């Protein structure tokens, strides 16, 4: 059982906000593997997680956009002999994946991060644009059950600056059945992982009634 949880929002008994010890414990589980993370380890993090894996080849990724993104990141990595710098990223080079891109600025050694870019294709299914918010703030507002997974993965990539793939089922109020993510570290000067370049692809589309959409907006707007 994970340690260090803090229960919040008494109006939602099912939501818990992970503390740093809980995030670190879960990151340790992911970092214990060099490729695909064992299903038993994933279940200890979140029962909605379908896959987490450290990847180093585009053909390991089913989605073309994610494969393209990994290939481009690796090209930059080879050119600089290490982790690509955030200044190496040119949005014009990323057009094939542009609507599904997020860029986050790492905070507190990856225990949190701020959304600096939030792609329109992501916002469409998520229900809103989270640019300018911290991951922890987004989690707190929506009370998403994936809170621990999100923050764990960013912390794991901060500690091991390497490409990490994840797939997890969406909460019921999100307009996608699941999400496939590729998290790529970006350096900044002497900091090996200062930002995260993320490809985030929705899988499937949920048909939501007007009442469900209204309930979604009430939740994600924190009202």
Which pLDDT tens digit goes with each residue over 120-145? 988 887 778 999 999 999 999 888 88
Q: What's the pLDDT score for residue 195?
A: 98
* CA-closest candidate to residue 36, choices 61, 18, 64: 61
Which CATH number do you get for residue 26?
3.30.450.20
Q: How many domains does the chain have?
A: 1
Do residues 61 and 70 lie in contact, with contact meaning Cβ atoms separated by under 8 Å? Answer: yes
End-to-end CA distance of the chain: 32
- Find, among 197, 143, 181, 163, the residue nearest to 50 by Cα: 181
What is the residue range of 14's domain? Answer: 5-220
Q: Write the pLDDT tens digit of every residue in 1-60.
A: 344 433 333 344 577 899 999 999 999 999 999 999 999 999 999 888 999 999 999 999
Distance (Å, whole) CA 84 – CA 93: 14
3-class SS letters over 179-218:
EEEEEEEEEECCEEEEEEEEEEEEECCCCCCHHHHHHHHH
**Cβ-based neighbour number of residue 150 at 10 Å:** 21
Q: Tell me how far CA of residue 202 lies from CA of 101, 157, 220, in angstroms.
A: 12, 21, 18
Phi then psi dihedrals of residue 16, to 5 deg: -130, 145
- H-helix or E-strand containing 167? strand 164-169
Residue 216's pLDDT band (cuts 50, 70, 90) = low
Average pLDDT over residues 110-128: 91
Mean pLDDT of the chain, nearest integer: 87
* CA separation for the pair 66, 200 (Å, rounded): 8
pTM of the model: 0.88
Task: Give pLDDT, residue 10.
Answer: 35
């Amino acid at each position: 059982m994970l340690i260090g949880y803090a229960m919040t929002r008494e109006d939602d008994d099912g939501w818990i906000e992970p503390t740093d010890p809980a995030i670190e414990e879960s990151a340790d589980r992911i970092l214990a593997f060099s490729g695909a993370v064992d299903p038993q380890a994933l279940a200890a993090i979140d029962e909605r997680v379908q896959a987490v894996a450290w990847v180093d080849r585009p053909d390991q990724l089913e989605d073309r956009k994610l494969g393209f993104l990994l290939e481009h990141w690796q090209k930059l990595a080879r050119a600089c002999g290490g982790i690509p710098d955030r200044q190496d990223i040119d949005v014009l080079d990323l057009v094939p994946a542009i609507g599904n891109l997020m860029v986050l600025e790492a905070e507190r050694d990856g225990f949190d991060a701020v959304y600096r870019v939030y792609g329109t294709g992501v916002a469409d299914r998520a229900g809103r644009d989270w640019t300018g918010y911290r991951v922890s703030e987004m989690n707190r507002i929506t009370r998403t059950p994936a809170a621990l997974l999100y923050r764990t993965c960013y912390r794991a990539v901060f500690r091991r600056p390497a490409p990490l793939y994840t797939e997890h089922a969406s909460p019921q109020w999100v307009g996608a059945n699941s999400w496939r993510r590729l998290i790529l570290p970006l350096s900044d000067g002497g900091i090996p992982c200062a930002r995260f370049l993320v490809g985030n692809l929705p899988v499937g589309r949920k048909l939501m009634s007007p009442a469900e959409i209204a309930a979604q907006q009430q939740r994600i707007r924190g009202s």
